[in-house]
Structure formats: structure tokens, C-alpha cells
Chain A
Amino acid sequence: MVQKLDYLKETPSQTAGPYVHIGLAPGDAGFDIYRHELGRDIAGPDASGTKITVRGVVRDGTGAPVKDVLIETWQADANGVYPSQGSVDPSFRGWGRVIPDFDTGEWAFDTIKPGAVTDQTGTVMAPHINLWLVARGINLGLNTRLYFPDEMAANASDPVLNLIEQPVRRQTLIAEQVEGGYRFDIQLQCPSETVFFDV
């Protein structure tokens, strides 16, 4: 026998199910209950930086849009500083909740373009937005990142993109420049499956 390690086990995940909006975005479920719904203001109107709109759709293995997905976003401010690290921009929250149109599965969110982030080890990461996806049929939330197509040089030296063995798969994390902003479609399954992380 050996001594016992006194760790607890993490609570196992369960799918958010099709009605995640009731808890996290009741207005989208069809009723108003809270004075203030959380996650609707990633960057307030006065946040400094370049205002951008990101739109996209999440697709399942058959190519059909995932209409009941809920995406949470987390990003640094225009200077590359996260709010919990002491961002000094009071109108910048950095975190948001994104819900698609229930008929088409298309979603969009407004924010400001994040700056490059210097990690605690001193490594510089290209500007990116962290995404976390939950939905019916997703048993454990999926983590991924959105990078920007107009940051070619920074992307080329990004330590996370460079961890991806197949260069062609790095492209799945780089948004597309479109009229009025960026487009980032997420594929849950092959052939051009988005890279998801075990972080």
C-alpha cells in the first residue's frame, strides 16, 4: 500500500443540451427574466481598438449547421492584455456569448481586434480570440482559437499554430477576410475539421 493522494476528481461534463439558452441567454429562449443578460458586451462602444465583426457557422459531420450551439469568446484588449491581467480599458470585458439564428445557424459578434499577447514565459502569441463551444451532442465543451488573416507574419511565428503538425490544418484556425469583417466557419468533423485543443 502507498499513501493516498488527497485530490478530488473534476466534476464530469455533460452536454449543454438543446435548451442551453434558458440558463445562459434566456432572451433567446423566448423570455425576459434578468435585468442584465451576461456576455452581450465583449467590448463596449468606448473600447479602444479597431472595431470588427466576426460571423460564421458551425457545421456537423454532414455539413448541416449546428443551430443550437452556444459559443463563448475570451480575448485580450487591443494592447494584448486580458481583463483579469489588469486591462485598464473599463469598457472592455473581453468575454462574450454568441448564439446563432435558430433558422440558419449563422452567428455574428462585434468586438475589437485583440493585440498580440505576451505569455508568462515571454513568448509572443499572434492576435487571437479563444472560443469554447457547447451544444446538444457535444459531451465536453470544445476549445479552439480564431486567428486573423491579416497577421501573416505574427501567425507564422505563433507557438500554438506551430504546434499543429500538418500545415494545412493550421488554416482551419485562420478567419477569412470578408466585406465588413471576418468569417470563421467551424467544422466539427472531417474533411476540413477545425483543430480543437486539449488545454
Chain B
Amino acid sequence: MTQLFPRDRAWHPQALDPNYKTSVTRSPTQPLLSLEGTTSELSGPTFGHSDIDPLDNDLLRNFATTGDPVGERILLHGRVLDENARPVPNTLVEIWQANAGGRYRHKKDTYLAAIDPNFGGCGRTLTDDQGYYRFRTVKPGAYPWRNWVSSWRPAHIHVSVFGTSFAQRLITQLYFEGDPLIAKCPIINTIPDPRAIDQLVAALDINASVPFDCLAYKFDIVLRGLRSTYFENRPEGN
């Protein structure tokens, strides 16, 4: 019998943070109901290579028609692990981002920076049997948003990961080493612990960079750990 490690909610952003204004009307006010995971939460959807195409993880190519996208070419790579430091193989990783000018390809984004005709801004892949994933893309630009009169999001890529249990489902954002906007961002600062913020900053990885082609950034993702309940007199235990 398996259970998930309890989620450390002090490590995650708080639901209500008045400095991130949209959270004020969208955060539950009643306490969450603590639930030991049942089959419903411990099971989860699975994906296979028939669900996606090989080019889906190459944002330099997956939407381009007349040439390469504009911007700093990067290789984004890392592993999906669980809290036991075990790799999570064959799990779906999806990303989305603004283009190099900070503009999203979305019918609701009206920021004045230009749309890049050769950049869609999304990608997806399955981790390999060691939990590794990789994407090629361009480094996204910072963009302004309505919070304070002049709030700017640091360059970031949105990341969605599944794991094996529906209760491991996670959406987060990765940031880039050395960005001075990180310290000023109200969304990042919904996370109380500075060490948790550090966990969202992808490291510049010169060793993995491809000479005269692209810089590399490494971003490992950690999902909730699975715990076997020991000392249980069950034939199917552990």
C-alpha cells in the first residue's frame, strides 16, 4: 500500500497574498479538508509516444514556417524526480512561454511587443527512462502586467508535470539565473521561503551549451514522494 508524502504547504506559495492582487478573490477562505490519498488521488493518467510527436519539444521548429524564431536560442533540460530523489520516467512535461519580446501567442494578450510569426510558444515531451527531458526554445522576454502601476514579470517559462498520481499534479514557472526582476516579482514573492524560490531558478549550464548554437539552462523538477507503509501484514504490501 502506497501513500504520498504530505504536501509541505509552507514551502508552496500561500493561497492568499494581497501583494498578488488576483489571489485576493480567488483564494479559498475555509480550511482545506485533509484527506489521506485514496485510489482516486493515487492513480493518475498516463501518456505514451502515440500522444505526442517527436518535434513537439522543439520550439525553434514546431511552429516555424519562414525561418527561425527571433531571440536567444536555449536548450532547456533537466530531470523529473520525486522527493526520494528517484527519477520519474515516461511522464508528460508541457511548457509554454512568451516570445523573445515578451509577447504571448494568445487571443487575450494585447501587449504591444510584436508576435513572432515563427514562434508558437508551447512544447511537450515525455521524460526518458532516467527521468530526463529536454526542449529547444528561445529565452522569453520580460513583460508588464496589471498588479502595481509598473509590475514586470521576470523572464519565465510555465511548466506542467504529471507524475504517476493525480495528487502529484503540478504547475509551476521557471526563472533564469541572474535575473534582477526575480526579487521584485509579486508572484514569485507569494513563496515565503527564499530557498523555495531558489528552487525555481534554472541554472546556466555552460557544459551543456552547444558552441555557436545555443546556451543551456538546467531545471530539475521534484514531485511529491511516494511512501510505502512498512510493517503491514499484507501480501501485496511494498
Contacts and interface: CB of A to CB of B under 8 A. Distances in A.
Contacts of A64: 25
Contacts of A60: 25-26
13 contacts: A13-B171, A14-B188, A19-B104, A31-B63, A61-B24, A74-B40, A74-B45, A84-B45, A95-B45, A121-B1, A132-B169, A138-B27, A196-B32
Contacts of B128: none
Given A12-B172, A160-B38, A199-B7, 16 more contacts: A6-B85, A7-B85, A8-B84, A11-B170, A14-B187, A15-B190, A17-B173, A22-B120, A23-B160, A34-B124, A61-B29, A117-B38, A139-B14, A139-B20, A163-B33, A198-B7
B43 interface: yes
Given A6-B85, A164-B33, A198-B33, A12 B200 contact: yes
The 8 closest A-B CB pairs, nearest first, are A23-B96, A137-B22, A95-B45, A137-B26, A139-B13, A61-B25, A30-B107, A198-B32
B33 A195 contact: yes
Interface stretch (B46-54, B68-76, B208-216): B46-54
Contacts of A35: 53
Interface string A54-90: 0000001110101010001010100000111100000
| Majority secondary structure, B binding face | loop
Interface string B81-93: 1111100000010
Contacts of B39: 82, 85, 117-120, 125
B81 A190 contact: no
Contacts of A66: 26
A130 B166 contact: yes
A121 B41 CA distance: 14
B225 to A, nearest CB: 7
A137 B11 contact: no
Contacts of A30: 105-107
B170 A84 contact: no
A17 B15 contact: no
A10 B43 contact: no
Interface residues of B, number: 86
Contacts of A163: 33, 35
Nearest to B28: A196
B46 A72 contact: no
Contact of A22 (B1, B52, B106): B106
Interface centre among A68, A82, A132, A164 (most CB of B within 10 A): A82
A6 B81 CA distance: 13
B23 A139 contact: yes
Contacts of A15: 13, 20, 22-23, 171, 173, 187, 190
A33 interface: yes
